[in-house]
Amino acid sequence: ETKRSGPQLLCQLKEKVEVTTLTPDLQPFSSMLWATQLPSKQLTSDLGPYKSCAVVASAGSLHGSKLGKEIDSHDAVLRFNAAPTNGYEKDVGLKTTIRLINSQVMASEEHRFLSSSLYSSGVLVAWDPAPFSADLIQWYNKTDYPIFTQYQRYRRLHPQQPFYILHPRFEWQAWQRIQDNMAEPIQKNPPSSGFLGIILMMSLCEVVHVYEFLPSQRKTELCHYYQRFYDAACTLGAYHPLLYEKNLVKRMNQGSDRDIYTHGRVTLPGFSKLNC
């Protein structure tokens, strides 16, 4: 079971994980006035298809990488949470097409989500750890962080910026792929934003390059390239099943081990390019 080949894993992802976003017609939102702020169409029908895409993990190992030009050469670039480009262009580039944020970023004071210019360009996509049932009513009544109140506030301030919320079914479908391909039981917490973002881009792009999700020779305990904070758990995981996510991505990589070592670069095919 655990020895499934790369191509098999890719086809499983394509067939069993669907990037779904919340739409105004879904219960319990359909009866709420603010639900008209939700995009009426799915993210995957509004965006792309893109030829080439980059996913930029926020890892400290990007520091000094000089990957900026290469990252910007892609048609679309996905970044995470509070990861900045200003001042770090040489290493991480400056293009941001999509920013995937967790609900903690939206809610905690330090990130100034409503006022910081960091979030106001590109397409925003937010998610929040939901109960395993992925039941929208249960989740709505008990979100991890106040994703919905913050969403409404942000939308009022930036009505023109596209802003999607991921359906919790997506996070648990992704989790299930990890669990079904591991010999041991993994923690029942949703995958990291990194893993969710990789699958999101595989749904929109013909080819996806992921940077420093699998660490290069620059591997460091520095948590993020933009902060002087050291913790090996950022790379190895604690709450999220990050080590297992990385194991799966390593098995699906179509690039060389050398690319990982020198560039922290993984090459994944988009779902549209897979013959399953």
Q: Please give the residue ranges that form the binding site for ligand NCC (CB under 6 A).
A: 57-60, 80-82, 102, 104-105, 192-194, 213, 223-224, 234-235, 239-240
32 vs 107, beta carbon nearer ligand NCC = 107
Closer residue to ligand NCC (CB): 147 or 234: 234
Q: Which C-beta is closer to ligand NCC: that of 57 or that of 67?
A: 57
Q: What are phi and psi of 174, to 5 degrees?
A: -65, -45
State both tokens at 189: 């917490």
Spell out where 86-173 has E strands: 98-102, 123-127, 163-165
Q: Is 236 or 276 the residue whose CB approaches ligand NCC more closely?
A: 236
Residue with tokens 């669907």: 18
Residue at 137: amino acid letter: I
Q: Kindly state the smallest distance separating residue 104's Cβ from ligand NCC, in Å.
A: 4
- Comparing CB distances to ligand NCC, the nearer of 86 and 160 is 86
Query: Minimum distance between the CB of residue 20 and ligand NCC, rounded to whole angstroms?
Result: 19
Task: Give min distance, CB of 56 to ligand NCC, in A.
Answer: 8
Cβ–Cβ < 8 Å for 17, 171: no
Residue nearest to ligand NCC (CB): 194
Least Å from the CB of residue 167 to ligand NCC: 17
**Token match 């050469």: residue?**
73
User: How far from the centroid of its chain's Cα atoms is residue 80's Cα?
Assistant: 7
Going by C-beta distance under 8 Å and a sequence separation of 6 or more, which residues neighbour residue 180?
1, 12
Token digits of residue 248:
């799966």
Q: Work out how close the CB of 178 gets to ligand NCC at its nearest, in angstroms, rounded to a whole number.
A: 13
C-alpha span between 198 and 17 (Å, rounded): 12
